[in-house]
Structure 1
């Protein structure tokens, strides 16, 4: 600001003026100088000279009167400090308020919109310094400090722009805690496109609140209607501004700190201190455009950046290196003239609206039609979410700065190619089905608990296929009372991971149905067992496997990651075993060469350890009943893992043996008492393990073995060899 000169006799006149501490106005006979101040009528604010922090410079400012910690809310001469205490705030001719140095230099003077010969400056109870005509009580101000905020937004202040006068009100940080000069950071209400508040460092945007939706800002879901203050954005033809008003006696202020953080503070009388109420940016995902165009930021993920659904990284190499600035593209390009559509996204901070268009009177359906007809329109949403939603907000070109929120504040509809809409509809149907399924599961469990307490007898558990009936499967009461904690996968997630169950992803097929390899979005590889409609193993076996393996944890048991039960689909999702199953190696002439004796011993030992765990160390004593080479999977290090618990049975208490009329399993591995009489126990699994060991050692299948001298299987052949060796041993002993 240019320093003006006034006659020296004014300086002498100011030094003898009588100053009062009890008034709230400055007139031609009342000024502020030295340590004297003026105080608002209710005693809330005080105005005078101060030195910030450790600085010796003098500034004219306004601060809270009754707060022990001096908290300055406005500074007049931010850029031109006084180097001594010779400043005076007074009325000078021809009717203007001015901060004058003792030398006669005008340090600061407001740019008033009108003139008067008898002005007064008054400090209002709101903290607003106003200049008006002494005889005008209509509330018309020639100038007010609220139109020229510094780093603090007080209740009643406007943050925005007047389109008629061109006046823009925004916050600007101090340079430091000792220097109130305008710093690097600003916070303003930006009307471009549709109003939102933006924090910037110079010309670089750092953070934005998201567009105003009638209740709050879409990117600040935690800023909700409350009993402390109310807030809103006003948008008319004449002006746009954000402001807030206090609803209680609480003292609250918003500041643009010199560190670049927007802070809301509340004064607590009981502790006599300021308490930080909220900040912006709140987390890493609030950093403007962190994930690039069409990116999706989730602070709970590491790394936080991903692509919106149906989008893929634009530059995969840079994306993998942690540079997300290139953003994402639709995986299926739009084809506007052949029919696009929209997919609803919920729980997001809405994109930057500075390249948007709006209409307050449209319905959401009309909004969709307008966007659909314009090939440049990329998304639409309600303008105002109050009372069910109204108005239309359209985005053009790329969607910038979207963030996943922990709550759903507002829906946005993003344009997609028509081929993507089919998958989306399926996802919605599956989601509804899953919600109903979960509801039925919870209802069923509650009913089961009630019936058990009342009738104390067995009851049918969850009809949707998670638990099993005790009388049919031999599970104990204790087992049935334990809750099953197993993730439920969405069918569309599994379908996407397996490329819609492509034949190229098929790993094999058993009596239950095919098994596919899949890759989840995070990169995790999985094996998907899809139960066939014509499967020899039905829903009971599916239930049984879920119950058994979900409660088992051992390095030599395959890990069940979750299941999928939707419509007619039932699937089990396992960890992926890259080396397939044991039979792939031991029964193949070329592959068997990869298994030397140390590896074969390692595999036998691992199977034995897993079996020992099932029989003795697990919470449930499990009899597998189908131990065979194809049910032993091998991980990348050739460690064996027992799989397929579809026909496994659990023993409880002192139970050691059971019988069944339904003998199921694989012939050649069954013990005689199980195959003939239906009796099974831990010994049954040990018998199967013995057969498996013989196959691993010999590389021959038990039932596929052929010897020209007899028609016995491998087990029978070994028996012949043993008897022959025993005879030889006996003869040798006889000769000694």
Structure 2
């Protein structure tokens, strides 16, 4: 019998068996005459801990897993309702997802899905510890890097952000529809929903799905656009130009963009140009204030010559709160019909005299 290094969460496995009407027994002892079968669980005396066996994928091996039967502190590769993603700063507990080693081996794989708490917290998919896909910060209705809004008719969203805990949790509004998300061993994240009327899981989507999804697909101070086949995927932000035009023409965008030569954005009648429908830049070095209005955010950004851009922190109620950046703008992409408005600092000549915001 193989015991993987990862302490496995088998509650989802049990849930799937229940949904498929497979018999599942809860035991408090096992013996030669009362064996433990796949799908059965052995509970501790206080019912806090459970143990079970299973054979994943096409594997002929049987694995044993133990889990905490009640708070989901080690969610393995799958997120289902009432599990948390985040951190308890008092204990240092991280709630993260970790891919399996392969479809047939539930040992720890190469991909983890977790929050980065530098600057303004945001979700990342990491590959061997390096950023692979940045989901971005929570914007009130959805993640900045995911176009689809979370349906309030399916889940309740609980978002905690205080000294005790930073976490997000999805609850159920209707038990006839159950969402789940899996971090695959290939590095893809798949989202499913269970419809009781169909008695099956239906796939909702997979990410990362496009070239622009991958972290820093374009270099600093540029954005990625997959919707215009006639242009390069990468475009410099307003007021910027390629750091190396030769590399840019060869479609090497890693060097990104720099301020246009001769421009001045420090108390020289500069202002802002709106770049619409984007995933906001990497917020690991961003400043956030939820008490500011967007107009106040603009004024504060203008006062500081190091401020390169700003955006609303919460897209509800027409946009509230303030996100401001003071360095290069990284990992921006556009969407076709949704996203945040990003306001990029430019000099007066780029802005145009009839559109000046600076006073």
Same fold per TM (> 0.5)? yes
Pair 1:58 & 2:62 matched = yes
Who is 1:283 aligned against? 210
* Contact 2:286–2:324 under 8 Å retained in 1: yes
- The 5 A counterparts of 1:690-701 are none
Pair 1:153 & 2:79 matched = yes
Of residues 232, 235, 238, the one that matches 1:306 is 235
**Deviation per CA, 1:88-109, whole angstroms, max 9, x where unpaired?**
xxxxxxxxxxxxxxxxxxxxxx
- The 5 A counterparts of 1:377-388 are 377-388=307-318
Pair 1:48 & 2:52 matched = yes
Who is 2:339 aligned against? 409
Pair 1:346 & 2:349 matched = no
* Contact 1:22–1:39 under 8 Å retained in 2: no
Who is 2:37 aligned against? 35
Pair 1:253 & 2:180 matched = yes
* Contact 1:189–1:242 under 8 Å retained in 2: no
Larger gyration radius, structure 1 or structure 2: 1
Deviation of 1:186 (Å): 0.8
Q: Alignment partner of 1:48: what SS?
A: strand
CA distance in structure 1 between the partners assigned to 2:342 and 2:286 by the alignment: 13
**Deviation per CA, 1:28-78, whole angstroms, max 9, x where unpaired?**
99xx953271399xxxxx963112234343223xxxxxxxxxxxxxx43xx
Q: Alignment partner of 2:136: what SS?
A: coil
**Deviation per CA, 1:587-610, whole angstroms, max 9, x where unpaired?**
xxxxxxxxxxxxxxxxxxxxxxxx
**Deviation per CA, 1:435-485, whole angstroms, max 9, x where unpaired?**
xxxxxxxxxxxxxxxxxxxxxxxxxxxxxxxxxxxxxxxxxxxxxxxxxxx
**Deviation per CA, 1:159-208, whole angstroms, max 9, x where unpaired?**
11111111001101001111000100111122322222111101221111
Q: Alignment partner of 1:352: what SS?
A: coil
CA distance in structure 2 between the partners assigned to 1:210 and 1:292 by the alignment: 17
**Deviation per CA, 1:526-583, whole angstroms, max 9, x where unpaired?**
xxxxxxxxxxxxxxxxxxxxxxxxxxxxxxxxxxxxxxxxxxxxxxxxxxxxxxxxxx
Q: Alignment partner of 1:366: what SS?
A: helix
Instruction: Point out the more displaced range, 303-312 or 170-179.
Output: 303-312
Who is 1:642 aligned against? none
Deviation of 1:223 (Å): 2.8
Query: Which has the higher relative contact order, 1 or 2, with Cα contacts under 8 A spaced 6 or more apart?
Result: 2
* Structure 2, unpaired ranges of 5+: 6-22, 44-49
Number of aligned residue pairs = 325
CA distance 1:47–1:400, shift in 2 (3 Å): same
Runs of 4+ with >6 A deviation: none
CA distance in structure 1 between the partners assigned to 2:201 and 2:239 by the alignment: 46
Deviation of 1:374 (Å): 1.9
- TM-score, scaled to structure 1: 0.41
Deviation of 1:270 (Å): 5.3
- TM-score, scaled to structure 2: 0.81
Deviation of 1:277 (Å): 0.6
CA distance 1:423–1:182, shift in 2 (3 Å): farther
CA distance in structure 2 between the partners assigned to 1:246 and 1:424 by the alignment: 51
Who is 1:206 aligned against? 132
CA distance in structure 2 between the partners assigned to 1:54 and 1:213 by the alignment: 40
CA distance 1:34–1:369, shift in 2 (3 Å): same
Who is 1:216 aligned against? 142
Q: Alignment partner of 1:277: what SS?
A: strand
Pair 1:172 & 2:174 matched = no
Deviation of 1:158 (Å): 0.5
CA distance in structure 2 between the partners assigned to 1:272 and 1:314 by the alignment: 55
Deviation of 1:340 (Å): 2.8
Q: Alignment partner of 1:371: what SS?
A: helix
Of residues 146, 154, 177, the one that matches 1:228 is 154
CA distance in structure 2 between the partners assigned to 1:152 and 1:424 by the alignment: 53
Who is 1:292 aligned against? 219
- The 5 A counterparts of 1:404-553 are 404-422=334-352, 425=355
Superposition CA RMSD, Å: 3.0
* Contact 1:340–1:416 under 8 Å retained in 2: yes
Who is 2:170 aligned against? 244
Q: Alignment partner of 2:308: what SS?
A: strand
CA distance in structure 1 between the partners assigned to 2:273 and 2:92 by the alignment: 40
CA distance 1:23–1:330, shift in 2 (3 Å): same
* Contact 1:33–1:48 under 8 Å retained in 2: no
CA distance 1:235–1:27, shift in 2 (3 Å): farther
- The 5 A counterparts of 1:77-96 are none
- The 5 A counterparts of 1:325-724 are 325-332=254-261, 333-422=263-352, 425=355
CA distance in structure 1 between the partners assigned to 2:177 and 2:224 by the alignment: 35
Deviation of 1:378 (Å): 0.9
* Contact 2:238–2:273 under 8 Å retained in 1: no
Deviation of 1:237 (Å): 1.9
CA distance 1:271–1:384, shift in 2 (3 Å): closer
CA distance in structure 1 between the partners assigned to 2:185 and 2:354 by the alignment: 46
Who is 1:99 aligned against? none
Q: Alignment partner of 1:365: what SS?
A: helix
**Deviation per CA, 1:308-331, whole angstroms, max 9, x where unpaired?**
233221111111111111111232
* Contact 1:51–1:57 under 8 Å retained in 2: yes
Higher helix share: 1
* Contact 1:216–1:232 under 8 Å retained in 2: no
Q: Alignment partner of 2:355: what SS?
A: helix
